[in-house]
Structure 1
């Protein structure tokens, strides 16, 4: 991240040295009456240049140290994003389990309510059986036929009544166990939500810290670049003085800064290894027919509200911001002519020109219930849409 400021500083210093060397060379051929003043100015500028070079060296050391800190922060961001992704999955599983448990609880309550009268009849019948047992034949021989009928009837009904009583007891015990499980699941859900909030706060703090690091690097580099530009401007003024004294200075072409190191190029060989940018269900596939009659040139992932969005691959952000009706859009250059387009985020962390790592959080989906949290993803090669599924490594939402 410090390559551009360092290259600009180095280019300005090389240009200044060339101008200064040329001025010193030409001053030897100047008329005597202008030489002393020019030499004194050149010596003063040379001393100032040396001081600035020492300052630049110190700044480069500081920038390298801060860049190392920034790299460590990026790795922490990736780790925090992985934790948040795992917690989002835990929260969703807890929500699904709670819905299932509450549906089972409702069914059991309905079943028990509908059988309440029958259960009361069972209890009454059992009490009556216990109280009014058939009379002994020795006591009332004339009731022998009635006793036989009662015995036969009880022999048939008793097992049925016993089964219904056992089933009711089992349902009540099951309902009690289910309610205890719901309480435990609610506790787990709250714990997962709390940890998810902490993970979000951690990511937010890391992002803020990284922005402060980047701002400090750019602020120091911009300050020193402005100072060196002022020195170069004054050296150009001195060149004009040399010309007025009778010298001539050929045109100087400033040296162009060398290109910084690029990303490792390998996206075209990364098929089947790229992670989804967010957890959710794919609701529109590549090539699907749209309401407009056209076909989708990417995929649409329906995420959780406020779900985090991570970079699917290492790359450089070429664009980050609102664009027409797509909401906030990010275009990521991943090398070899490939670009990944992500649209529909409510918040974008990364900025144009920033390098990001695979798995590094780059944005967040909307929290507003009125907005459907759909994240659109495209992969393009030289502006031609490609099927993202060729690169994505697993079914999302599993």
Structure 2
């Protein structure tokens, strides 16, 4: 019986220590004599030397990593299959870590809230804690231990400072409650420290992956530019044409009719759709295709007819759905696609295979990307800050194509969600917006996981 009671009282004393530690520390610092100027100066110099050395080491490490990355990318050469594989895998890694960071931040917010509640509860009973500590002092017939900065330090000191045999039931009940809250506080602090360490590790990893992804995207676009000599002129002409039309359907028609690279892309999409339709007709009796159908990174046409891809497509960004197809668009109209609230700088990947028929700014949509997925289907993605693909380019499902900014770019969303970026996604069949819901992979749900 003695041991449980002793442990309980030790924990109560820890509660007093944790509550009053900051005050005692401040008093001790005020009363402490000021160190000599010469000592401060020497310590400051040493610290700056160490910081400089650490900065040099980090710079050297970054340079070595960059050199290694350049060598890896150079070794890919003109192998489009390997480059595609690296792009898609790295983009998937980035989105996975983005999700882990979001989840860790959510857990930290919960833990912070619980810590504040526990500390508030203890703080509201300061008088009770003081009374319990005074009773411990009287029962132990000795001076209570010095209040230390950390509860763990106080506990260690009290193990040798307090020897009690029994305590009155009323005091024990009060002590149990205080000790329980203190135990929860210590556990919370340990959990928060572990979460912060993991969060820091994930943020380091995502910086490394983003650097790699940027280099891979640059290489992909360099190769694309070398194949398309008039790329800049085509892009400029696309922007000029976009200013001559007033709606999305007009933009699609204008691009695929008047712009050479977009017209070629549309022709390839139509031809590929016919070939895929013929193949699917022959294999009509086979099992329904699954995600494995997208594994071939060397393909230069869609892996499957868009109409047959229902339940297979990944959402293009990590975030939360804030508007769904058919709901209010926030400006008195009906939503023709879905809107996903994201974090600043989030990676945007393609939800399907297709040819880029437009990439650039368009009216109130901000930066707009339009893919011809074949079979009369088009996928429109808007609201990004930067697009990293060109008109005429064929992209694979999961390939990185854009990056979100720090605020909303789509005018219809700006009024109600100005504080965070929002991605708008719309599917069209023969020019008419359709519900994209049936196409998303079943495990995507409201929370996008990529």
Does residue 379 (structure 1) correspond to residue 427 (structure 2)? The answer is yes
- Residue 405 of structure 2: aligned partner: 366
1:185-224 pair list within 5 angstroms: 185-218=195-228
Alignment partner of 2:168: what SS?
Answer: helix
Q: 1:345, 1:363 within 8 Å by CA — same for their partners in 2? A: yes
> What's the CA shift for 1:397?
1.7
1:139-288 pair list within 5 angstroms: 158-218=168-228, 262=272, 263-264=301-302, 266-288=305-327
Distance, in Å, in 1 between the alignment partners of 2:376 and 2:397 is 18
Does residue 354 (structure 1) correspond to residue 402 (structure 2)? The answer is no
Does residue 120 (structure 1) correspond to residue 168 (structure 2)? The answer is no
Alignment partner of 2:134: what SS?
Answer: helix
- Residue 118 of structure 2: aligned partner: 108
Q: 2:343, 2:420 within 8 Å by CA — same for their partners in 1? A: no
Task: Please tell me whether Structure 1 or Structure 2 has the larger radius of gyration of its CA atoms.
Answer: 1
Q: 2:76, 2:82 within 8 Å by CA — same for their partners in 1? A: no
Deviations 1:219-254 (A, max 9, x none): 59xxxxxxxxxxxxxxxxxxxxxxxxxxxxxxxxxx
- Residue 151 of structure 1: aligned partner: none
Deviations 1:295-343 (A, max 9, x none): 1000000011111100000110000000011100000011110000000
> What's the CA shift for 1:367?
2.9
Alignment partner of 1:330: what SS?
Answer: strand
- Residue 445 of structure 2: aligned partner: 395
2:86 to 69, 76, 85: 76
Alignment partner of 1:103: what SS?
Answer: helix
Count of residue pairs the alignment pairs up? 273
Q: Which runs of 5+ in 2 are unaligned?
A: 1-74, 142-166, 231-263, 273-300, 409-417
* Structure 1 residues 129 and 203: alpha-carbon distance in aligned structure 2, compared to 1, 3 A threshold: closer
2:109 to 92, 99, 116: 99
- Residue 89 of structure 1: aligned partner: 99
Alignment partner of 1:215: what SS?
Answer: helix
Q: Which runs of 5+ in 1 are unaligned?
A: 1-64, 132-156, 221-256
> What's the CA shift for 1:272?
1.1
RCO higher in structure (CA 8 A, sep ≥6): 1
Deviations 1:99-133 (A, max 9, x none): 111111111111111112101112323444566xx
> What's the CA shift for 1:292?
2.6
Distance, in Å, in 1 between the alignment partners of 2:188 and 2:204 is 24
TM-score for both structures, normalised by structure 1: 0.64
Does residue 291 (structure 1) correspond to residue 341 (structure 2)? The answer is no
> What's the CA shift for 1:69?
1.3
Distance, in Å, in 2 between the alignment partners of 1:383 and 1:67 is 39
Distance, in Å, in 1 between the alignment partners of 2:419 and 2:372 is 28
Q: 1:70, 1:213 within 8 Å by CA — same for their partners in 2? A: no
TM-score for both structures, normalised by structure 2: 0.57
- Residue 367 of structure 2: aligned partner: 328
Q: 1:271, 1:392 within 8 Å by CA — same for their partners in 2? A: yes
- Residue 8 of structure 2: aligned partner: none
Q: 1:378, 1:388 within 8 Å by CA — same for their partners in 2? A: yes
1:342 to 378, 381, 384: 381
Deviations 1:55-113 (A, max 9, x none): xxxxxxxxxx9995123211210000110110000000110011111111111111111
> What's the CA shift for 1:386?
0.6
> What's the CA shift for 1:217?
3.5
Distance, in Å, in 1 between the alignment partners of 2:199 and 2:175 is 36
Distance, in Å, in 2 between the alignment partners of 1:172 and 1:66 is 57
